[in-house]
Chain A
Amino acid sequence: MHRLLLLIPTTTYRTEDFVEAAGQLDVDLVVASERPSTLESYFPENLLTLDFADPAAAARTVAEVAAKRPIDAVVPVDDRTSVLGAAVAAALGLRANSVAAVATSRNKYRLREALRQAGVPSPPYRLFTLADRAEAAAGAVPYPCVLKPTILAASRGVIRADTPAEFVAAFRRIAALLRTPDVVDLGEGADQILVEGFVPGVEVALEGLLVEGRLEVLALFDKPDPLDGPFFEETIYVTPSRLPAATQAAIAGRAGEAARALGLRDGPVHAELRVNDAGPWLIELAARSIGGLCSRTLRFGTGMSLEEVILRHALGLPIASLVRERRPAGVMMIPIPGAGVLQGVQGVEAAKAVPGIEDVAISLHVGQAVVPLPEGARYLGFIFARAESPERVEAALREAHQRLGFDIAPLAPAGSAS
């Protein structure tokens, strides 16, 4: 029986889908998180606690565990464990990307540097830190531009600025976000703000699997809602793409170039690109699979999940097909309508009744804070659809969303508690 190690942060959205996929395989599952499981004392060889902030120490711990019972594959489930996964794999002598390559992809500035050095087209960019003065920085960048933290994901802290005044406001807003404890805890790069020239165009997301350095495109998603700022809240993803075949091929080619430039050779990649008259522009490429619950749109061959594909690849098990099922599919990351505390959700059953809708998953719980971008770190929920055409998928997602209602109580002003 193969022994599989999943690196799962306690707060990732990816747990259920990866654990479910592991259950489909005949594996001895080992799970490592940054905090102890309540049942760890009963299964010390299968439930591990690792210091995610210290990959070298964590790798040594795993090596000690593997010395007793070998581990055949290690799979990080999201951004937060991707570098750790590479370090652990290296310590165990397993096939994986190098730590350097993954660490480069994890930091948006280092990614830009690697792309520039490899000649992959990139917008102009410049790195600042919290030690820089916003007003001085505002005079040193092109407009329009996009400010973004180098190590946050899913559009957190990403703000467009068209003028120096907007730049200064955005810089200060991001600086405040970077000073919050959860971001400070991320360590290296948490004090950096990358400024890039804004790239106009349509945006797509590419889901891929690197096999011995070759990029296999698993899915290309259109993002039909414009992402022009000032914030970049992602909403609808639909696959297959409706872009011309030649454009899709160019997108895949650009993503492959980027992966090579970073030195990535193995495992899942998720890339965001923009396409305009000059061709595809690589915005980001990460050594991980798609985030949130979005992977539930994807099925391969006779119904294999994306996570099972990733686990099979890591374990060296056969994969019947990397071809996505033919039926178009999509997901809507439900837009956050305002800040406050979630009091209730209406219309879920009505939304599920829309033809083509497969599921509506509200991932925020009643009583939890609702925080819009650019600060927000949580999804409100997800709507999933499958239909006979991409247009119908998109229409179903929009119709289902219209049927949902959210009761969000405004937060009381500071100091108003009695």
Chain B
Amino acid sequence: MAETSAIRDRVQELLDTAINPAVAGHGGFIELIDVQDTTVYIRMMGGCQGCGAADVTLKAGIERMIFEEVPEVTEVLDATDHASGSNPYYAPSKG
């Protein structure tokens, strides 16, 4: 339990000091929902919610950063309802 709490604190600090200041550039915000054992649950808000590039931000950015800075974390799961996003930064199109 103590370890879970420590993971939560370190992930929250990472969000506060690095990730959220960066995604704020696109009107986004990442919320830490929960930590269960070594699994981190997040929610993507603002411009990230429903964004066409959200999966890139998550898998190639946020997840990688959490794994590097908090190596005890084994999984980062996205609990976002992307369909409800009302202001996604990038909207998909057919091209």
Chain A residues proximal to chain B, CB less than 8 Å: 8-13, 15-16, 19-20, 22-23, 29-31, 33, 37-39, 41-43, 46-47, 78-80, 152-154, 156, 182, 291-292, 361-363, 365-368, 377-379
Q: CA of A23 to CA of B77 in the docked complex: distance in angstroms? A: 13
Query: Apart from A11-B93, A13-B94, A362-B83, what 19 extra A-B contacts exist at CB < 8 Å?
Result: A9-B95, A10-B52, A10-B90, A13-B92, A15-B52, A19-B55, A19-B60, A23-B59, A29-B59, A31-B60, A38-B25, A38-B57, A39-B57, A39-B60, A42-B65, A47-B60, A156-B94, A182-B93, A363-B92
Task: Count how many pairs of residues, one from A and one from B, have CB atoms less than 8 Å apart in the complex.
Answer: 113
Q: Could you tell me if A46 and B92 are in contact, using CB atoms closer than 8 angstroms? A: no
Q: Which chain A residues border B18 with CB–CB below 8 Å?
A: 42
Given A39-B61, A42-B61, is A291 in contact with B94 using a C-beta cutoff of 8 Å? Answer: yes
CB distance from B19 to the nearest CB of A (A): 7
Q: CA of A239 to CA of B36 in the docked complex: distance in angstroms? A: 41
Q: Could you tell me if A38 and B95 are in contact, using CB atoms closer than 8 angstroms? A: no
Q: CA of A39 to CA of B59 in the docked complex: distance in angstroms? A: 11
SS of A interface (majority): loop
The reply to whether the CB of B53 lies closer than 8 angstroms to some CB of chain A is yes
Partner among A37, A153, A156, A361 whose Cβ is within 8 Å of the Cβ of B60: A37
Q: Could you tell me if A38 and B92 are in contact, using CB atoms closer than 8 angstroms? A: no
Most A CB within 10 A of own CB, among B26, B61, B94: B94
CB distance from B84 to the nearest CB of A (A): 8
Q: Could you tell me if B59 and A80 are in contact, using CB atoms closer than 8 angstroms? A: no
Partner among A39, A79, A362 whose Cβ is within 8 Å of the Cβ of B22: A39
CB distance from A185 to the nearest CB of B (A): 11
Partner among A13, A19, A23, A39 whose Cβ is within 8 Å of the Cβ of B62: A39
